[in-house]
Chains A and B, each alone.
Chain A
Amino acid sequence: MLSLAAGAVGSSLLSACGDDHSHSHDGEGGGVVDPSISDVVFEGGATDEALEALIAKGATTDATQGTRFLTPTAGAVIDPSSPVVFTWAVGQASGRAPLAPRGRGTRLARRAPSLVERVVGATLGVRTAHAHGTPIDGRAYFLVFRTESNPRLLRVFTTRLDYTPSAEAWAKLTGEGGGPITAEITGAIFEQNRIPQDGGPWLGEATSFEFAV
């Protein structure tokens, strides 16, 4: 049993949903964002509310429900010149061949941050996450890259089964100065951003890789 540390909710700030449609959350169109997840990159419509639910609950290991990385393979030495696609699968599904990396991965990258997010991000240094979007129904994955010296090198919360780092995220990974990087996923099944009784979270198999010098 592994418990993910639940960060304290301290200062708050308003986070916009962006685009032209607002959602209400804890009031009108804004909500409380936990600063302990302010570094997290959100992908695939994943929400901070779901992540907070995941972090608040202790993860267990279960080979049938945990994830396993498909690419890159464990111990891979990666060319740092361009981002690679990280892919994974759950339980028995991990025995199947992964999808070929999408040629248009950047097309699905996060939307451009709204003015509010840019201002807030610039002034307070918080992430431009897609907060309080569509509630998650189904699985989502908390992907953490870490080194010995930096346990939060890069953290991603996504509903997808793949992740292609943005240029900024890739720079974080490649700029760590050598040595192995470990990636680990904690996944859960959500029901409107909440984790039902039999929905996990489950800790997956970790993998490690390093960059070619």
Chain B
Amino acid sequence: MLSSRLPDALRYRLYRSSALLGLAVVTASLGGACGDDVTDGSGGEGGASSSSSSSVGGAGGEAGGSEAYDWGLPPGYPKPRVPADNPMSAAKVELGRRLFYDTRLSGNQTQSCASCHEQALAFTDGLAVSVGSTGEQTPRSSMSTVNTGYLSSLTWANSNLSSIAIESGLLLETQAMVPLFGEDPVELGLSGMDEVMLERLRAEPVYQAAFPAAFPDESDPFSLQSVLYALAAFQRSILSYRSAYDRYNYGGDPTALSASALRGRELFFGERLECFHCHGGFNFSDSVAHEGTTFDEVMFHNNGLYNVGGTGDYPEDNTGLYELTGVPSDMGRFRAPSLRNIALTAPYMHDGSIATLSEVLDHYAAGGRTIETGPYAGDGSQNPYKSELIAGFTLTEEERADVLAFLESLTDEALLTDPRWSNPWKE
């Protein structure tokens, strides 16, 4: 089982975090999906904010090279925060890239991380809900792995992972165990197979050089911790900073944004639409941390997507933060994802239940979604747990086009083919 092979550092932190949060079981059944959650236990607070951990450090590269890691970012652009336990290095990122695309990281060797996180789709999969290696559907849509190094919380609604990040900074490292070893639902299906996986990796000639290069101080660099740390380092390196919006906003290029996109920008950041409250800042999310931030804000929102039977309920298998806390007001509360590359990551919402960006605007304009018939019928705009910011608005057709043009300007075309993040096994 996973518990017998869990890296000591992570085991300790998971133990502490699970104890603090009242988690009954973490190690045996992490449950959930990349877009899903730890499903056991209770406790934790939605909208938690806390001081950031002192154990996180800069981007120095102790492992696999002492040089500072080059993020490739332009001047003035925030840099991801890096846990002191897992400094960045080019060798580690390269190993993580290979692992990210390696189907040996699934029990039946049919899927890799990239199966649900395709570079061409801004590291999502284009499905309403993702499908694991055994064919099991997860309840939630695959989230983009772009700019995850800036997040103070991962997955759609997991305050426990946020607490781990705040305490140790090992957020990505910890989260990687969910798709690898989760049993409900099964994603990569490696539960109880961590040694089998490591044997597969040891047998690969490329890894025989890559693991020692990435973890030169480890007596046995082939370990689960190394896998998790390398995967996290690679994900941390995937940064979106070259969209048209960035070229205008950071690059000072007046040709980058169309007049329509500029008008959309003003609407987006205006008080009439209120978009920026949950999707603000450089990463268009309100759960962001990076180098230099001293306060980790983690927010979850009910956006009125459902109101089953007028009770405020969400569909049983997808109740958001409530699933963890059992607190009624946490019903339907999910993390606001980054809107970077949003034009590429359809369908939308945690369950992929809205097909297009235009329909997303309809949803917010109405102050919530009304489902007329069926098991989920109800007027989401009347959900008693809905965020007060989802109040509805009206847009002219021209304004709608402007907002959409702005959202499309967040697409980072260079990211989609950047060889730093492409499949190395095809090279």
**Which residues of A are in contact with B by a Cβ distance under 8 Å?**
17-21, 44-45, 65, 67, 70, 87-91, 93, 96-99, 102, 104, 107-108, 134-135, 137-139, 159-162, 187-189, 191-192, 196, 198-200
Contacts and interface: CB of A to CB of B under 8 A. Distances in A.
A108 B263 contact: yes
Contact of A162 (B75, B253, B254, B272): B254
Interface stretch (B109-117, B162-170, B273-281): B273-281
Considering residues A96, A137, A139, A191, which has the most beta carbons from chain B within 10 angstroms of its beta carbon?
A137
Contact of A21 (B77, B266, B274, B282): B274
B266 A199 contact: no
Q: Give the interface SS of chain B, mostly helix, strand, loop or mixed.
A: loop
A189 B251 CA distance: 10
Contacts of B252: 67, 88-91, 93, 139, 161, 187
13 contacts: A88-B254, A90-B251, A93-B252, A93-B255, A99-B259, A102-B259, A107-B263, A108-B262, A134-B276, A137-B249, A137-B280, A139-B252, A161-B252
Nearest to A102: B259
B269 A134 contact: yes
Considering residues A19, A20, A44, A99, which has the most beta carbons from chain B within 10 angstroms of its beta carbon?
A99
A87 B266 contact: no
Contacts of B248: 161
Contacts of B69: none
A189 to B, nearest CB: 3
Given A139-B252, A199-B75, 5 more contacts: A18-B271, A108-B263, A135-B280, A189-B77, A196-B78
A91 B75 CA distance: 12
Considering residues B251, B262, B271, B272, which has the most beta carbons from chain A within 10 angstroms of its beta carbon?
B271
Contacts of B266: 44-45, 108
Contact of B254 (A18, A44, A87, A138): A87
A139 B248 CA distance: 9
Contacts of A159: 249
Interface residues of B, number: 28
Interface of B: 75-78, 247-256, 259, 262-263, 266, 269-272, 274, 276, 280-282, 292
A137 B281 contact: yes
B199 to A, nearest CB: 46
A96 B75 contact: no
A138 B282 contact: yes
A99 B258 CA distance: 8
Nearest to A67: B252
Contacts of B255: 93, 96-99
Contacts of A107: 263
A161 B75 contact: no
Contact of A65 (B75, B253, B281): B75
A19 B76 CA distance: 31
Contacts of A188: 76
Contacts of B272: 19
